Amino acid sequence: MKTKTSFVLLLSIILLTACEKEVSLTLSTPENQLVVEGRVERVHGQSTQRHTIILSKVNDYFDNEQTPRVTDAIVTVREPSGVTHAFVHGTAQPGTYVNTTLVPADELTYTLRIEWNNELYEATETFTNVAEIERIYQQFEEENLFEDGGIKVAIDFTDPSGTGDNYLWELFLDGENVLVPDPGNSGNIVATDKFFDGETVEGYFPNEEKVFTPGQQVLVRQIGISRNQYDYLFILLEQTGQTGQLIDVPAAPIRGNVRNLTNPGKPALGYFGVSEISEKLIIIQ
């Protein structure tokens, strides 16, 4: 018999009061510090895969300009066997490097290699499996003190028992990811199975705040991530929850898994992941 589990991840909001005193801050920004965002992924039920790595540079903390993208890097991913796959830069999306030849396998460790600005960067990550989304459906929710009422999208899945799984969710509306961090939903973006290990989770909303209308196309992606990546994302989401973008520069540097082999004192920011993904699509009725 399936165990029905309802879990809610609550975020605490701390209100800070301060004296009316002007404070001048000077925050230093490392020159040409690389930011890496992306992963190698294997999607359930798809024979071909598309892997994307996005490279950019750190903006000044108070700079409101668009994050500068890196377009002149050499990006590859190496399999444990030594086979290397090139990631090609796409001019339509500056800073985006794509590969469609690599097919990641269970339990294998992959190495990302980036050559840029006369420096060599490297990151390793082991492929992480994920539970399959068993069902996706729409559900009407009444308005309450915390969220608007309306049609929302829910999923069911069964977490494997005793494997210590960690999850990342993405939610796309008509091709655009609308699951971004803010003080109200950051806890829905990543989770561990600490409170639902081995159980069936029913009626989970990847985004409790988003209300949909008939005719809209919604894609939910459930992504398996390592414990190290979960810890990284959890801290990152806490710091970027006010800005709403994962690629934004946090208030304090957060160490990912991308090392600078040429200059160890200047590592890249960001995280390279290798994940299995389960995704399901629904058209709102």
Tokens 């995280």 belong to residue: 271
Contact indicator for 241, 181 with CB cutoff of 8 Å: yes
Other C-beta atoms closer than 10 Å to the C-beta of 278 total 20
What are 230-281's pLDDT values in tens digits?
A: 999 988 887 765 444 454 545 556 789 999 999 999 999 999 999 999 999 9
Question: Percent of the chain scored above 90 by pLDDT?
Answer: 63
Residue range 80-108: mean pLDDT, rounded:
95
Residue 220: band (very low, low, confident or very high) from pLDDT cuts 50, 70, 90: very high
Contact indicator for 192, 174 with CB cutoff of 8 Å: no
**What is the DSSP secondary-structure string of 35-87?**
EEEEEEEEETT-SS--EEEEEEEPPPTT--SPPPBP-S-EEEEE-TTS-EEEE
- Supply the pLDDT for residue 258: 97
Residue range 176-182: mean pLDDT, rounded:
80
Residue range 148-170: mean pLDDT, rounded:
95
Residue range 73-92: mean pLDDT, rounded:
95
**Which two tokens mark 89?**
């830069």
Distance of CA 108 to the CA centre of its chain: 21
State yes or no: pLDDT of 177 exceeds 50. yes
What are residue 237's phi and psi, to 5 degrees? -65, -35
State yes or no: pLDDT of 46 exceeds 70. yes
- Supply the pLDDT for residue 128: 98
- Between 109 and 48, the higher pLDDT residue: 109
**What is the DSSP secondary-structure string of 221-264?**
EEEE--HHHHHHHHHHHHHHTTT--TTSPPSS--B-S-EESS-T
State yes or no: pLDDT of 64 exceeds 60. no
Which of 28-42, 206-220, 222-236 comes out lowest in average pLDDT?
A: 28-42
Residues 6+ apart with CB under 8 A from 209: 147, 148, 184, 185
Residue range 49-63: mean pLDDT, rounded:
79
Which of 281, 2, 6, 283 lies closest to 135 in space, CA to CA?
Answer: 281
Per-residue exposure over 69-81, b if at least 16 CB sit within 10 Å of its own CB, e if not:
ebeebebbbbbee
What is the rounded CA–CA span in Å between residue 199 and residue 1? 10
What is the rounded CA–CA span in Å between residue 164 and residue 197? 7
Which of 36-45, 57-66, 217-226 comes out lowest in average pLDDT?
A: 57-66
Residue range 157-168: mean pLDDT, rounded:
97
Give pTM, 2 decimals: 0.83
